């Protein structure tokens, strides 16, 4: 029997899960408004006191940065202390939570006040209030701390358990935070050395190419920082929830190590259209981007094989007949449906990622509606559903409360899947016809009174709007389940047992010594980053570009004089 998470850490984890979920209400509301603006249902620059781009910034920052980072930290704290059977520092965890909350409040306050309408990518020349940048920096520093609370616990465990394999969940959480540590250093530089002084008026003008490059150095690794905690759930929980075992221990460990090496040196695939960077380096990073799909493909096969093991153990037969025994709608096992629907959505998110990554095809879809379609099938698919499901599981588990209305709980991921598929169909179609992303279409292209009117975009934007509304409904249903469960009393049977995350056994337990040590993989990652970025960054610095003045997103005229 695993020991239960210590009481103060339980409180910290609950705060780290519940606060971002409460903020998600705003984040999700602005998502629904987005599709209504895009379809021309709302034809205005603002709605209920919040401007279009301000709402879009809230949507991105809350959903893609705040919710995901808090979740990774909370999950890491739970799994590392559970699997290494040793408490992690409460002081360190509390400090991390306080800094992250402070940073999130500072950034959110500036967005709500309309002083940081810079979208979640916050790249210049869009300019925000200094408190927004300071908030971001504090938030990131807070999210660095957990790794340093995990390391001493891990070293102690290794000393006491010589020769034993590090538990898979710990390997996955370490991979997550190693990637995070590597990729956040350049964005910390961008925020502290470039954006903050610029926003304070201490420096005139900003080097847009350099700051975008530093952002995307961080920005693509960020997507794997979102994904890896969910892969931890796929490798360690899903096989057990499916009634089986993890098909291959090697596949999990190898995938996590591959992500350490390959998550960062490929951010230029977001900048294929940017000037000032040689095509040769863009091409090289394209190859690395295609390579980072390999651990995901490995994951697809391993997870499918694990589900097959479970289904056959439950009486499934035949080449495809075993699918009937996969517990897709089982209410006692409601968490499975969140992970399963996430996987099904990710099939399409992954394939469209490969299209984006191809240098030539990227020209067709870059900055079109295709992009939000892609990322609502990735971060908005497996990641978001994994966060929703696992947060409900952890919150109710720690509070020893049963999940009320498990049928509704199971309905949520299917509604979400229907919503994202519909939404993305609309946006993929629109993107291929040139519909731009991040644009208030209702005022222009979807407005019959405008000379820019594009009636051929009506269908795609309306399909998107229907999908977006279904997604909104799924989130509302989730909150009904969560709030009703929180309002319920603890169950006596649950109170008698220590709460622990149920993890899978392994079917093929291969022993590969090279996967037992992080050091060579981290070294390879650093070397590859240097190879992929040294020349492009040095070229940009040598380019000595003229600094750009600040801009607001709704005005083509700069908000200040050019330096
Ligand atoms: Fe991406 C842009 C390429 C994965 C998120 N991506 C974005 C943006 C976001 C994002 C947010 O190369 C927009 C950023 C912005 O605001 O501008 N992406 C890729 C590639 C992958 C990929 C090659 N992306 C992700 C993940 C994300 C994410 C993961 C979030 C978590 N992406 C790009 C590129 C761009 C981009 C370009 C820039 C484009 C531009 O022009 O701006 C790969 O890692 C994907 C590999 C995945 C697979 C799928 C494996 C399938 C699995 C499921 C198996 C299912 C089973 C169940 C077993 C190969 C694991 C079956 C059951 C049934 C019932 C069928």
CB of 213 within 8 A of CB of 165?
A: no
Q: What's the CA-to-centroid distance between 351 and ligand 1, angstroms?
A: 7
Which ligand 1 atom is at minimum distance from the Cα of 304?
58
Which of 356, 380, 438 should be mutated for ligand 1, with most atoms under 8 A from CB?
A: 356
Which of 61, 302, 359, 374 should be mutated for ligand 1, with most atoms under 8 A from CB?
A: 374
Residue nearest to atom 52 of ligand 1 (CA): 300
In tens, the pLDDT along 346-405 reads: 999 999 999 999 999 999 999 999 999 999 999 999 999 999 999 999 999 999 999 999
Which residue numbers are catalytic?
220, 224, 374-376, 437-438
Q: What's the CA-to-centroid distance between 496 and ligand 1, angstroms?
A: 42
Residue 239 clears pLDDT 80, i.e. is over it: yes
CA 389 to chain centre: 15
Burial of 511 (0-12, 13-18, 19+ CB in 10 A): exposed
**Tokens 């709704």, located at residue:** 554
When pLDDT is cut at 50, 70 and 90, the band that residue 496 belongs to is: confident
Residue 373 CA to residue 97 CA, distance in Å, equals 32
Total Cβ atoms within 10 A of residue 105: 15
Question: pLDDT averaged over the chain?
Answer: 96
Read off φ and ψ for residue 445, nearest 5 degrees: -65, -25
With a CB cutoff of 8 Å and minimum separation 6, the contacts of 13 are 5, 74, 77, 78, 394, 398
Which ligand 1 atom is at minimum distance from the Cα of 371?
13
Inter-CA distances, 554 with 113, 117, 439, Å: 16, 9, 10
Considering the entire predicted model, what is its pTM? 0.96
Residue 1 clears pLDDT 60, i.e. is over it: no
**What pLDDT, on the 0 to 100 scale, is given for residue 311?**
97
Which ligand 1 atom is at minimum distance from the Cα of 219?
14
- Pairing status of strand 46-47 against strand 50-51: antiparallel
Residue 81 CA to residue 66 CA, distance in Å, equals 23
- Percent of the residues in the chain that have a pLDDT greater than 70, as a whole number: 99
Q: What's the CA-to-centroid distance between 92 and ligand 1, angstroms?
A: 33
């Amino acid at each position: 029997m695993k020991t239960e998470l210590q009481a103060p850490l339980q409180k910290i984890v609950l705060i780290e899960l519940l606060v971002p979920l409460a903020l998600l209400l705003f984040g999700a509301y602005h998502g629904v408004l987005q599709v209504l603006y895009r379809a021309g249902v709302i034809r205005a620059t603002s709605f209920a006191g919040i401007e279009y781009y301000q709402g879009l910034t809230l949507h991105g920052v809350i959903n893609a940065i705040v919710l995901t980072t808090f979740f990774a930290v909370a999950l890491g704290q739970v799994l590392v202390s559970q699997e290494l059977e040793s408490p992690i520092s409460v002081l360190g965890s509390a400090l991390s939570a306080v800094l992250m909350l402070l940073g999130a409040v500072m950034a959110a306050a500036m967005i709500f006040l309309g002083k940081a309408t810079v979208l979640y990518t916050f790249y210049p020349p869009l300019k925000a209030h200094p408190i927004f940048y300071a908030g971001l920096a504090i938030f990131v520093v807070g999210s660095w701390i957990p790794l340093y609370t995990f390391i001493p616990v891990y070293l102690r465990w290794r000393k006491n358990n010589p020769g034993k394999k590090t538990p898979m969940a710990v390997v996955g959480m370490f991979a997550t935070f190693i990637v995070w540590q590597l990729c956040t250093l350049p964005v910390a530089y961008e925020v502290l050395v470039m954006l903050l002084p610029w926003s304070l008026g201490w420096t005139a003008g900003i080097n847009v190419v350099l700051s975008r490059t530093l952002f995307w150095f961080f920005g693509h690794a960020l997507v794997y920082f979102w994904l890896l905690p969910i892969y931890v759930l796929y490798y360690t929980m899903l096989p057990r929830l499916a009634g089986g075992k993890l098909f291959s221990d090697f596949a999990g460990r190898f995938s996590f190590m591959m992500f350490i090496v390959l998550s960062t040196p490929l951010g230029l695939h977001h900048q294929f259209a940017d000037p000032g960077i040689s095509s040769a380096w863009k091409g090289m990073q394209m190859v690395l981007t295609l390579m980072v799909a390999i651990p995901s493909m490995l994951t697809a096969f391993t997870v499918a094989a694990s589900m097959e093991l479970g289904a056959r153990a439950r009486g499934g037969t035949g080449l495809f007949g075993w699918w009937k025994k996969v517990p897709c709608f089982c209410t006692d096992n409601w968490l499975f449906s969140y992970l399963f629907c996430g996987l099904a959505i990710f099939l399409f998110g992954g394939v469209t990622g490969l299209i984006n990554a191809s240098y030539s095809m990227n020209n067709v879809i870059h900055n079109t509606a295709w992009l939000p379609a892609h990322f609502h099938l990735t971060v908005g698919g497996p990641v978001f559903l994994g966060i929703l499901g696992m947060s409900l599981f952890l919150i109710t588990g720690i509070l020893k409360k049963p999940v009320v209305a498990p049928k509704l709980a199971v309905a949520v991921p299917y509604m979400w899947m229907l919503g994202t598929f519909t939404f993305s169909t609309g946006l993929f179609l629109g993107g291929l016809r040139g519909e731009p992303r991040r644009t208030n279409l209702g005022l222009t292209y979807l407005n019959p009174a405008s000379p820019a009117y594009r009636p051929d975009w009506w269908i795609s934007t309306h399909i998107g709007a229907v999908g977006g509304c279904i997604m909104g409904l799924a989130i509302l249903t989730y909150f009904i389940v969560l709030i009703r469960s929180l309002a319920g009393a603890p169950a006596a049977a649950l109170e008698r047992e220590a709460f622990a995350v149920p993890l899978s056994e392994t079917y093929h337990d291969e022993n590969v010594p090279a996967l037992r040590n992080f050091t060579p993989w981290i070294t390879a990652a650093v070397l590859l980053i240097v190879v992929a970025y040294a020349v492009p960054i040095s070229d940009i610095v040598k380019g000595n570009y003229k600094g750009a003045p600040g801009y607001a997103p709704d005005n083509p005229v700069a908000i200040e004089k050019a330096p």
